């Protein structure tokens, strides 16, 4: 088992945790309340710093329940935390809600604070993403004048085999 040293950089931060024995991903918890308006992104701090060993990375991935039941998305999934990064971990979260105000004289609000319809509040302590520890395979690149001469070119790409 690989050891990754974790430092709380916020006193009340929750450490990442596995929900069940054998899970690949550890849940990450929001370290503060964050409000995200429709169509906007925000950094959600998780209140920890890590010392990831050389030869490893930590991938930030969506939680399936959050993706299924909310408009929140992790747009750069999987996000990579490299072994040399030592600052606080943040998760980029995008609110995929759509609000069209065409034809309205005043913006539609949902509460007395004036939040736009579709605004999402992540609460401190919410499980917002998961992280997976992965080994990194380092490569050496060799320049060539003709990659098609090395092996067979299967052709296609970008949906050439169909989209259904």
- Return the pLDDT at 109: 57
pTM of the model: 0.83
Cα gap 71→43, rounded to integer Å = 16
| 3-class secondary structure, 149 | helix
Cα gap 118→97, rounded to integer Å = 5
CATH number corresponding to 5-149: 2.70.40.10
- Return the pLDDT at 105: 60
DSSP symbols for 75-101: TTPSEEE-TT--S--EEEEEE------
Cα–chain center distance at 150: 36
Per-residue pLDDT of the chain (164 residues), as tens digits, is 899 999 999 999 999 999 999 999 999 999 999 999 889 999 999 999 999 999 999 999 999 999 999 999 999 999 999 999 999 999 999 999 876 656 666 555 556 566 677 889 999 999 999 999 999 999 999 999 988 888 887 777 777 777 77
Locate the domains of the chain by residue range: 5-149
């Amino acid at each position: 088992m690989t050891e990754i040293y974790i430092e709380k950089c916020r006193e009340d931060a929750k450490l990442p945790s596995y929900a069940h024995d054998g899970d690949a991903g550890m849940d990450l918890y929001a370290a503060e309340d964050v409000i995200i308006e429709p169509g906007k992104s925000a950094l959600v701090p998780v209140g920890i710093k890590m010392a990831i060993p050389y030869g490893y990375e930590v991938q930030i991935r969506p939680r399936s329940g959050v993706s299924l039941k909310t408009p929140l998305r992790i747009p750069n999934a999987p996000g990579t935390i490299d072994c040399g990064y030592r600052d606080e971990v943040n998760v980029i979260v995008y609110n995929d809600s759509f609000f069209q105000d065409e034809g309205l004289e005043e913006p539609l609000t949902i509460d007395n604070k004036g939040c736009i319809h579709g605004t999402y509040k992540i609460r401190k302590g919410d499980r917002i993403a998961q992280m997976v520890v992965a080994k990194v395979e380092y490569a050496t690149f060799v320049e060539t004048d003709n990659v098609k001469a090395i092996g067979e070119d299967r052709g296609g790409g970008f949906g050439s085999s169909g989209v259904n």
